[in-house]
Structure 1
Amino acid sequence: MFTRRAITLTLALWPLAACANAPALSGRAVSRPSDPDLVPRATPGWSSWVAAFKPRAAAAGIRADVVERAFRGQGYVPGVVARDRNQTEFKRSFEDYLNIVAPERKVQAGRAAFARHRSTLSAIESRYGVPAEIVAAIWGVESNFGQRRGDIPTISAVSTLAFDGRRGAFFEKQLIAALRILQSGDITPERMLGSWAGAMGHTQFIPTSYLQSAVDFTGDGRRDIWSDDPADALASAAAYLRDAGWQRGQSWAVEDPSGNLTPDRGGPSFRTGPNFRVIKRYNNSDSYALGVGHLADRIAGGGALRQGFGPDGDGLVKSQRVDLQRRLTAAGFDTDGDDGVLGPKSRAAIAAYQRSVGLEATGRPSVALLQRLGG
């Protein structure tokens, strides 16, 4: 479902001067994507598609000079198409999701970020009615408090997906919206960066949602969700939630053994409120809304969930999964961390270990495997 952004979860180009006396744009230095498959390249097919698209852009009210400057140096991004066609990722449990979006280190980072931007977040809460900790939590889940804003040129990303055609109409709409943003002078093409699917800035807005809800909170004349200063982005997220129906003073959810939502069998239950559904407008997922809400509660000083999680489908609790990852890594089979989330890298390490000892390489964890490793 596409709501605010396209989900299931840099090139130095050229300036686009909106006007001769426009104020300088702020923002981080532009970097090149580290993955070569994410570097734009002007292929014949993409270039032909762009030529055919330009009259449609003109019909939508985009000036010819904006279109020409927007596409200069852009291109087809093969890695974007690969990611779009391979979204059949395995389903994570709610416990795994929480371990990813709200581990203790992220809680501490969130509290530090909240303290640094306390006055801005408080002012945003006063204006839009959305609690400061909810806004901070969305910031944390979307871009790790601004550390992962994306480095793919948005024009290249969305034009690639529009050209590819699998969801061509949707992404052509995003491309038109991105061009409207450039035409407004809010950002330049070389700084209009984001994810492979066109989600941009600190709070990962897709272009249409930017046009709907982005605000100029700093008063500098630009709605700059890309700047190192996150104020406009955080206020834009709050404006989005307000417009989606946030009810001031109402809870998002509370942990309740008799609640109406139990995302994992044997795990904690929640009694959700109307604002839970508003968070889902940002990303239509129960796990997402619960993750944002829980991280917000922790940032505000709350504790861990009272109800623990039982064994997973492989019979392991979190402490055993952590132990398994540590033992595999110590044995020379790197799991890329020991967070208790047995994702693709951990399962690849399990399979490699199984092959090394003559077992069938299933990649599946088990109590027996942990015991074999000395756990």
Structure 2
Amino acid sequence: MAIALALASPALAQRGAACHGGKSFEQFLTQLKQDAAAAGVSQRAIAAASPRLVYDQSIVNRDRGQRVFGQVFTEFAGRMAANYRMEQGRAKIKTYAHAFARAEKEYGVPPEVIAAFWGLESDFGANMGKLPTLRSLVSLAYDCRRAQMFHDETIAALKIIDRGDLAPSEMIGSWAGELGQTQFLPTHYYNYAVDYDGDGHRNMLRSAPDVIGSTANYIATALKWRRGEPWLQEVRVPASLPWDQADLTIKHPRSQWAAWGVTYADGRPLPNDNLPASVLLPMGRHGPAFLAYPNFAAYTEWNNSLIYSTTAAYLATRIGGAAPMRKPTAPVTQLPFNEIKELQQLLARQGFNVGKIDGILGQQSRIAIKTVQKKYGLPADSWPTAELLARMRGR
């Protein structure tokens, strides 16, 4: 069946050509194929993929028009880490007990950690995306926004074909070129996918054992998972906590957090040991509180959204048997997008590096907010409030 492609607007086409030395898409594609051959991809694989290496402006439009994420942690986690997904994760661990046990033995990654990513990324294979991967990759490679990244991803996809793992027609995934039941970029697929069912192919689209083994390999090898250590635990924090210490960039031994009055969520005392951890407050001092251990870095490497990474880590604890998180100790309100953006602008005018002024509460914005909260004598929990915004407006 023929695929109808969106026509490129002259302005966007010119931008695409400009960052490739004025080359047309056809000239760019010729060079890309030469680069693939130089990287070791066979002419057979390049020829098999060529009919699908076509430009689609609608993919570029989607990349440039990504929506701002506006949900607070409890809303997102309530939807994405719901009971049905927890139960599905536990069921998958039972169904594929051998593959999960093998993955934990070989890579040190617990089954619930793998299952949580599997559930969040594709609902255990139910929603892997419906777009031709090669078309997405080559379109994004021609665009100027992340040209080198997607140039390399396109070549990695060709290597996957050349290795015999997937045929070009099987490469169907997200608009951003991610593949399989845990949505690997092609470079990750090529480098970390493993054949866990013994059929001679690494098929993360159809083989659950391959998904389990490959995801474990990636988490352990690329994301540096520490065998036998926790990743996230819900805790209860006292009103007297030095709030400026609650920051992912600040680690203290559990014994120090215990001395400050932090306990497990059920009130049990923390171990009096030297295991380093950060206190994570995704919604400020009145919202949920967690101890984030060194393994939590694997989650922020997987996805740098704090809300997503915390949800993935929390879901893994739930699949592993942890209780549901406690309700906030007081109502927590998130500033609307336009007010967060205004706050970022005010912070930038005062000389703070908040990164991109985009209405998204990222790590740099949180650090700046904490500094200003301390200046105004407010609890320095890095959570933006109407009171803080009013102070900064000079009201």
Q: Same fold (TM over 0.5)?
A: yes
Preserved contact between residue 233 and residue 317 of structure 2 (Cα < 8 Å)? no
Aligned to 1:274: 294
Q: Take 1:234 and 1:98, find their aligned partners in 2: how far apart are those partners?
A: 23
2:310 aligned with 1:293, yes or no?
Answer: no
Aligned to 2:68: 89
Aligned to 2:134: 155
Q: Take 1:270 and 1:161, find their aligned partners in 2: how far apart are those partners?
A: 38
Letter in 1 for 2:231: W
2:234 aligned with 1:255, yes or no?
Answer: yes
Aligned ranges 1:118-137 → 2 under 5 Å: 118-137=97-116
Q: Take 2:302 and 2:69, find their aligned partners in 1: how far apart are those partners?
A: 22
Aligned to 2:147: 168
Structure 1 segments unaligned to the other structure (5+ residues): 1-11, 14-35, 316-375
SS at match of 1:256: strand
* Post-superposition offset of 1:134: 0.6
Q: Take 1:100 and 1:150, find their aligned partners in 2: how far apart are those partners?
A: 20
Distance 1:177 1:69, change over 3 A: same
Preserved contact between residue 75 and residue 160 of structure 1 (Cα < 8 Å)? yes
Letter in 2 for 1:264: M
* Post-superposition offset of 1:61: 2.2
Within the candidate set 264, 273, 296, 2:283 is matched to: 264
Preserved contact between residue 162 and residue 169 of structure 1 (Cα < 8 Å)? yes
Aligned to 1:308: 328
| Normalised TM-score (structure 1) | 0.69
Aligned to 1:4: none
Structure 2 segments unaligned to the other structure (5+ residues): 14-23, 238-277, 336-395
Preserved contact between residue 216 and residue 224 of structure 1 (Cα < 8 Å)? yes
Aligned to 1:322: none
2:136 aligned with 1:116, yes or no?
Answer: no
SS at match of 1:260: strand
* Post-superposition offset of 1:185: 0.9
Within the candidate set 212, 218, 222, 1:240 is matched to: 218
Distance 1:121 1:54, change over 3 A: same
| Normalised TM-score (structure 2) | 0.65
Aligned to 2:341: none
* Post-superposition offset of 1:159: 0.1
Per-residue Cα deviation, 1:322-341 (whole angstroms, up to 9, x for no partner): xxxxxxxxxxxxxxxxxxxx
2:204 aligned with 1:225, yes or no?
Answer: yes
Q: Take 2:329 and 2:83, find their aligned partners in 1: how far apart are those partners?
A: 16
Per-residue Cα deviation, 1:192-240 (whole angstroms, up to 9, x for no partner): 121111111011110111122111112221111111x211112111111
Distance 1:41 1:221, change over 3 A: farther
Aligned ranges 1:26-65 → 2 under 5 Å: 46-65=25-44
SS at match of 1:205: coil
* Post-superposition offset of 1:88: 4.3
Distance 1:150 1:314, change over 3 A: closer
Letter in 2 for 1:295: L
% same residue = 35
Preserved contact between residue 283 and residue 332 of structure 2 (Cα < 8 Å)? no
SS at match of 1:84: helix
Preserved contact between residue 40 and residue 156 of structure 1 (Cα < 8 Å)? no
Cα RMSD of the aligned pairs, angstroms, is 2.4
SS at match of 2:233: strand
- Greater relative CO (CA pairs within 8 A, separation 6+): 1
Per-residue Cα deviation, 1:165-194 (whole angstroms, up to 9, x for no partner): 221111001011111111111110000121
Q: Take 1:139 and 1:291, find their aligned partners in 2: how far apart are those partners?
A: 13
User: Which stretch of the first structure deviates more once superposed, 290-299 or 232-241?
Assistant: 290-299
* Post-superposition offset of 1:100: 2.8
Q: Which runs of structure 1 show a deviation greater than 6 angstroms over 4 or more consecutive aligned residues?
A: 41-44
Distance 1:312 1:256, change over 3 A: closer
Distance 1:148 1:309, change over 3 A: farther
